[in-house]
């Protein structure tokens, strides 16, 4: 009997189970959605724009889950694997907050999320094979890209939608902390193809989830 084969199947089933949970089950946050004043009722055009931006942010958090899980799977450094799994757990709050705000706005999540999950998982799994300092550098780069993307969305939202704004401000603050922590633990600059693949995926995701 081939024990190794069984363990690979177990691993694969475990990963499929996590993917299904992220993609189909409502995310449960450990913390409340960041509080914000209700503000004036949104105009139709603003609501549409808020839905599109929050859909992109939700997809970003789906991708973050996949990136961390992919890296946790392939990293041979148990400390990095544990850090990845913890990061994925903390990011679940972000996923849940975006999902809840989309519901409040009567919007929907992106139909492309399974694609983003698969692509991000593959990139994370590749990064996990590249060693501790690259793995941590990968986290730092992910968080840096997410932070800059969130700042762009905050500028586009303006003051018209305080509830979405409060969520994005809290997420920005936490992504900065995640990034700084990874860098301080020894994260190094990424090999060019990995950074490039991440930027390309992020650009495709932003465009695709905004419309679809």
State the binding string over 148-187 for Fe ion (x if CB under 5 A, else -).
Answer: ---------------------------x--x---------
Kindly provide the b/e burial profile for residues 126-160, where b requires at least 16 CB atoms within 10 angstroms of the residue's own CB. Answer: bbbebebebbbbbbbbbbbbbbebbeebbeebeeb
Report angle CA 28, 78, 90 to the nearest 5 degrees: 20
| Residues 118-147: x where in contact with Fe ion by CB under 5 A, - otherwise, as a string | -------------------------x----
The stretch near Fe ion (CB under 5 A) out of 33-41, 84-92, 160-168, 200-208 is 84-92
Q: What is the per-residue binding string for Fe ion in 94-123, x denoting contact by CB under 5 A? A: x-----------------------------
Q: How far is the CB of 66 from Fe ion (least distance, A)?
A: 12
Site size with Fe ion, rule: CB under 5 A: 5
Q: How far apart are CA 138 and CA 144, in angstroms?
A: 10
**Beta strand residue intervals within the chain, DSSP E:** none
109 in Cβ contact with 99 (< 8 Å): yes
The binding site for Fe ion (CB under 5 A) comprises 91, 94, 143, 175, 178
């Amino acid at each position: 009997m081939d024990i190794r084969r069984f363990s690979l199947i177990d691993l694969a089933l475990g990963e499929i189970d996590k993917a299904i949970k992220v993609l189909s089950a409502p995310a449960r946050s450990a913390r409340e959605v960041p509080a914000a004043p209700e503000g004036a009722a949104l105009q139709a055009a603003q609501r549409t724009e808020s839905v599109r931006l929050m859909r992109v942010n939700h997809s970003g958090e789906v991708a973050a889950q996949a990136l961390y899980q992919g890296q946790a799977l392939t990293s041979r450094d148990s400390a990095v694997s544990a850090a990845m799994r913890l990061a994925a757990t903390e990011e679940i709050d972000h996923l849940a907050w975006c999902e809840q705000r989309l519901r409040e706005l009567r919007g929907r999540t992106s139909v492309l999320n399974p694609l983003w999950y698969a692509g991000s998982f593959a990139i994370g799994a590749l990064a996990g094979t590249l060693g501790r300092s690259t793995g941590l550098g990968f986290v730092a780069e992910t968080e840096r890209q997410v932070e800059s993307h969130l700042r762009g969305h905050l500028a586009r939202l303006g003051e018209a939608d305080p509830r979405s704004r409060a969520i994005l401000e809290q997420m920005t603050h936490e992504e900065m902390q995640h990034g700084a922590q990874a860098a301080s633990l020894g994260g190094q600059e990424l090999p060019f193809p990995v950074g490039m693949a991440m930027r390309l995926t992020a650009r495709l995701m932003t465009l695709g989830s905004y419309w679809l």
